[in-house]
Structure 1
């Protein structure tokens, strides 16, 4: 499963590089970035968060409680969700101008181009939802691979579409036909990604039959839980609305001031995409595999089992995520040049994205930890508490973003906005950990909170090693910079990893030792 995620992220790098090479980081790139982000915004706002958090625990419970293994319940839940997706998609396409207007202050040709991109991309809502629904059915049945591998097909389609544009375009302003090609091509990638799950469902012997006998079927409970998730997503999207408005405004102001470097939303978006890669490969893959087991333990009242899986998820994910965060911080400049330094992207663009990535990097640790903790609440069928705790992150993110935007010059505004998100994530992570600790600590004082003691100590030791590792990685990458971005990245990464390995024994970094030992064992078996 992790291998599929790695290949997916690798092809995602290629996709992002091709898009940046085709559009650069100016207002055209901002228009595409906003238009392509709108479907995900609307989807997550109205349905996506609920599907991700509620679906697997509900299917696991239904399999335990119904004589047919939950087949009829699954059909009813899928029917409700597919109908909701169709309605939401149609309404969003119709309301595209209003949606774009809510997230940007564009006027004239820039507004028209962005609305066109949004209209071509908004049908993605249906396919995003379908991909999530079918993938969660597979996850509930213990089949995780397909959902990790099919995004590769999405990336291949988009790379082909933008490659066609690069081969045939003149590099000037987009024509109506080119806008349609890029917009519909991006949507085609999501459609292929969703439909590619069908063979895996057939292999799992899953057959869907629409059912409309919803009365008295038990759908009220997941819908009630989904309501809290919708509220959670609303708060996240309120903060994201602030971020998008500020970042797009920063891009316009930077261009008006004659500042080269595309210091707008596309720079923020590209840095975010790269920043989230380790989380997607490590934490999401790990938690996706654990959620069915944690949900089953929670349904059986086995709190010890939930705590054991939570402890394992936190320790294992942090062993990879902390070094990754150090690498993103120390190697931001050469990594950005390696991934995005082609075509319309110049050195100033790279500098803006590198600064933004450095501001994001520390927050990756909290982002990953927060994800594990919130999914534990979902496994416990509690969506209300994560909503209340998420108010801390969303509120701080919005407030700090506004403050940094007002205080910093246009060139550094998006960097400040990224830093605001990192600070908000750490605050939310601390509060969430405290609440979940009280929730899972046994009332019997003689039984310790397993995840608290083990994980807190492991995190502290990892963070102790992170400082010298990041410093050494940055210095060696700078020393190797004359050899090119690839050489600087490789030298910096090797140096950084070497520091973690050297400190693994004296600091008792068990997670690092386990990862290295497991890799070495697999290599020996292959040979």
Structure 2
């Protein structure tokens, strides 16, 4: 398939179709960027809590339009990384369950990623991709010396950070899971110490991805997490085979935990090895250098102060969530009288992985298509085109996300039973995941709106405003989470945590919209609201059908088979009905997809 063919079947082609169908009005000039947008790359969502791959990173701004973002390899790699990540989560759930043992593993897995992101990952994602791109173009040696220095310093820093973190595992568990005591704490500390080894390999993967992005090799970083996911799934299945079902913190042995922890760490090491090998095949050869004078690395890091504020606030939200969820799970287990109860952090994390799937597969494609366009329009001073980009991107993403969030709301419980109720995770535990996922579902659109608004700021070269907006948003999230812990029964706290998570994005999106509305002369709000209303109207018949199918399936005996039938029948029937109804009520955004597909079909027939 040629490059133009690839474009037509992916999100950039849909954006092109929408742009042709919505001709611009009178030009509005005078838009001035705060700073060169090329100085700071896209940090992604900035609130990663585990190995779920962040597809945006620096790639969205590093790639020239029409090269990386129209690549079918990149898009398919993203889908496979997310789907295998979901399967990885299901396997870990089957191995450990959703009670205190599962909570301990989730806390231990979260810690290395958040420590890395706070101390190094944010810099790599938001600063060094554009910095290395510029050095590659301007330096006589193509930026080779700068890359050697960066790699030498980062590898040394990673080795020191990993060693210190492993030694300080006990303190880190106190920070992220301060309510753990007794055997629960021993399990968490052991798993954390094993998984902290990953920090070095997480860093190598991040740095290798950065250097591959600079060389415009975007497919490999999208596919490499699949290796990690598959190996971790293997470790989970091996644990389940060796230890058996229904293990708790009181019955599991240190040897069994070591098997699982080292297996998970091996997955991360393999991912970094694949990326390092691909970097070498791209022509990179490392020669250790630690002479930083004149390298410009310090200046690049200082340029990202406001971006790092945003990342720090988001990671503090992760810390608060972890503490509230683990303490609630511990209290629920104490009230129930055994470690088989609980179900705080594990339930939350399982639901979070499912919640992020629609955004990762759909909205990320829109973002990577829009960022180069918006940056180019900012350079031209065209506020009207930037405004149109945001409106068009949100509506194109929403035409798929609206039926998905409504479907998630209806199918959360049968879907969770279908995919999670296996091994050590009971149908009752899967139902709890489903209930939490129902609350998360309401946050799909606010989360996406916030992410798109942040990309407008990055296209403007403004990192200060997102950093400042994050502060009140983070305070709102933290206050809500702590209020849940103080006033809600322990077993119900985890159900409210998605609302606290979503509040960060609601407050952030509100503040961002107010600022950008003034800066861009509006955000095309009326068209967006009309489109969203029309999409939800088109989804109502499908929603009614899905509810009826789920209700009817619930009358059948058993758990897994009725859940599977509800998911398959209601999902397929509802999807077809949404397509028909959307056409009848004239949802033009869906027509952009069908028009592009029809044009491609005609070209094949010609």
Contact 1:56 1:291 in 2 (8 A): no
Match of residue 17 from structure 2: none
Deviation for aligned residue 1:312 = 4.8
Match of residue 26 from structure 1: 99
Contact 1:57 1:379 in 2 (8 A): no
Residues 247-326 of structure 1 correspond to what in structure 2 (within 5 A)? Answer: 247-258=325-336, 262-288=342-368, 291=371, 310-326=390-406
Would the alpha carbon gap of residues 220 and 460 (structure 1) be closer, same or farther in structure 2, given more than 3 Å must change?
Answer: farther
Contact 1:232 1:386 in 2 (8 A): yes
Paired with 1:470 and 1:384, the residues of 2 have a C-alpha distance of 41
Q: How many correspondences in the alignment?
A: 520
Would the alpha carbon gap of residues 301 and 221 (structure 1) be closer, same or farther in structure 2, given more than 3 Å must change?
Answer: farther
User: TM-score under structure 2 normalisation?
Assistant: 0.78
Give unmatched runs, 5+ long, in structure 2.
1-73
List per-residue Cα deviations over 1:255-314 (Å, max 9, x = no partner): 222287643111111111111112222223443465566567767877777656545543
Would the alpha carbon gap of residues 516 and 388 (structure 1) be closer, same or farther in structure 2, given more than 3 Å must change?
Answer: same
Match of residue 430 from structure 1: 510
Paired with 1:205 and 1:451, the residues of 2 have a C-alpha distance of 46
Deviation for aligned residue 1:225 = 3.3
Would the alpha carbon gap of residues 402 and 210 (structure 1) be closer, same or farther in structure 2, given more than 3 Å must change?
Answer: same
Paired with 1:307 and 1:216, the residues of 2 have a C-alpha distance of 40
Paired with 1:6 and 1:29, the residues of 2 have a C-alpha distance of 26
Would the alpha carbon gap of residues 303 and 201 (structure 1) be closer, same or farther in structure 2, given more than 3 Å must change?
Answer: farther
User: TM-score under structure 1 normalisation?
Assistant: 0.88
Match of residue 474 from structure 1: 547
Match of residue 417 from structure 2: 337
Would the alpha carbon gap of residues 440 and 502 (structure 1) be closer, same or farther in structure 2, given more than 3 Å must change?
Answer: same
Contact 1:329 1:470 in 2 (8 A): no
Would the alpha carbon gap of residues 342 and 294 (structure 1) be closer, same or farther in structure 2, given more than 3 Å must change?
Answer: same
Picking from 565, 573, 577, the partner of 1:495 is 573
Indicate the RMSD between aligned Cα atoms, in angstroms.
Answer: 3.0
Paired with 1:511 and 1:70, the residues of 2 have a C-alpha distance of 43
Paired with 2:551 and 2:128, the residues of 1 have a C-alpha distance of 47
Aligned-partner SS, 2:415 = helix
Contact 1:480 1:491 in 2 (8 A): no
Paired with 1:406 and 1:466, the residues of 2 have a C-alpha distance of 38
Give the stretch that moved more between structures: 294-303 or 24-33: 294-303
Residues 406-485 of structure 1 correspond to what in structure 2 (within 5 A)? Answer: 406-441=486-521, 455=528, 457-466=530-539, 469-481=542-554, 482=556, 483-485=561-563
Give the stretch that moved more between structures: 101-110 or 283-292: 283-292
Would the alpha carbon gap of residues 44 and 297 (structure 1) be closer, same or farther in structure 2, given more than 3 Å must change?
Answer: farther
Deviation for aligned residue 1:380 = 4.0
Deviation for aligned residue 1:157 = 0.2
Match of residue 54 from structure 1: 127
Deviation for aligned residue 1:162 = 1.4
- Kindly indicate whether residue 148 of structure 2 is the aligned counterpart of residue 148 of structure 1: no
Match of residue 186 from structure 1: 264
Residues 28-107 of structure 1 correspond to what in structure 2 (within 5 A)? Answer: 28-104=101-177, 105-107=179-181
Picking from 148, 153, 165, the partner of 2:239 is 165
Aligned-partner SS, 2:336 = coil
Residues 341-356 of structure 1 correspond to what in structure 2 (within 5 A)? Answer: 341-356=421-436
Match of residue 504 from structure 1: 582
Give unmatched runs, 5+ long, in structure 1.
442-448
Aligned-partner SS, 2:313 = helix
Would the alpha carbon gap of residues 130 and 488 (structure 1) be closer, same or farther in structure 2, given more than 3 Å must change?
Answer: same
Paired with 1:295 and 1:194, the residues of 2 have a C-alpha distance of 31
- Kindly indicate whether residue 194 of structure 2 is the aligned counterpart of residue 120 of structure 1: yes
Aligned-partner SS, 1:216 = coil
Would the alpha carbon gap of residues 81 and 14 (structure 1) be closer, same or farther in structure 2, given more than 3 Å must change?
Answer: same
Deviation for aligned residue 1:415 = 0.5
